[in-house]
Amino acid sequence: MAKIVVRLVILVSVVLLMNYYIPMYIHDQKQVKTAQSEEPVKTSISFTSKEMDITVLNSGHLTKQELRDFQDEFEKQMSDVLRLTRKALPKVKSVKFDTSTDYNLYSQLVLVFDRSFHSEEQSYYYQIVSNIFKQDSSRGRFTAVGLTGYLENTLKDLPVHEEYAYSWDNEHIPSIVVLLDPVEFSANYFHALPSEEEDVDISAETYFKVASFSSYLIETYGIDRFMKLYDSTDLVSNIEKIYQKTPLELEKEWKEYIEEYYL
């Protein structure tokens, strides 16, 4: 009887110790993994996606977990771009990006990782479309911004038509016909840093105007025609060839569409 009691005491002691130490061990292991995933990676990552070699410099000092989240979302968005554009243009074989957590450093080759957003809320469409398709270096960014707006509208539920309609009665930017000129587009869309509030507003208005117009063209006439236009160095003459209408006629159509459905 005494032996049974001793065994029971030992068994209870072992169970209590296990209940105490095992949760502590699991907790410690989780902390180790969390600490490892939160360590900054100071160099770069390289991976292959859709037969392209992608290199991402980590100037933004993203943690290992943030880089993993970034890579997953980046590859998803690249797949989205290729799917919606029907792989209409040849891709580059390799591309190199940099990272940042500062919107002031946003550019065609810098991927801003906003820590206040979940990974699926980040958007890299502009950088993707501007870089993965082979393109003539002399053309402007009108079609890249326009295609980005369409992708944002279709995949991220960014209401580009509604956003443009907000500034309908108080526009500070030229017509679409004028913005087709690369110099005019650049003057209205790009701005120096640090920027005046007015410059930021004009840039945003330009984005939504071009995004809305381009989305209208794609929604009305199809993505294939727009992708033929995408790499044009002379947008005016190529619009007439591809759409069999002048830019002025298409702008008039688009404005009538906005007036009917969004004003």
Spans of all domains in the chain: 1-34, 44-132, 142-262
Q: Are 131 and 81 in contact (CB under 8 A)?
A: no
pLDDT reported for residue 200: 85
Model pTM score: 0.80
pLDDT digits (tens, 9 = 90+) for 208-250: 999 999 999 999 999 999 999 998 889 999 999 999 999 999 9
**To which H or E segment does residue 222 belong?**
none
pLDDT reported for residue 170: 81
Partnered with residue 171 across adjacent β-strands are none
**Inter-axis angle of helices 247-262 and 235-243, to 10 degrees?**
70
For the chain, what is the mean pLDDT? 82
pLDDT reported for residue 23: 45
What are the structure tokens assigned to 237, written together?
A: 């003459």
What are the structure tokens assigned to 219, written together?
A: 């929604």
Highest mean pLDDT out of 84-88, 111-115, 133-137, 246-250: 246-250
pLDDT digits (tens, 9 = 90+) for 171-219: 889 999 999 999 999 899 987 666 678 888 999 999 999 999 999 999 9
Q: Which of 223, 209, 206 is nearest to 262 (CA)?
A: 209
Assess whether pLDDT exceeds 50 at residue 12: no
Assess whether pLDDT exceeds 70 at residue 87: yes
Q: Are 97 and 46 in contact (CB under 8 A)?
A: no
Highest mean pLDDT out of 14-28, 71-85, 242-256: 242-256
Beta strands (DSSP E) in the chain are: 44-49, 52-57, 94-100, 110-112
Mean pLDDT of 25-40: 47
What are the structure tokens assigned to 200, written together?
A: 């930021």
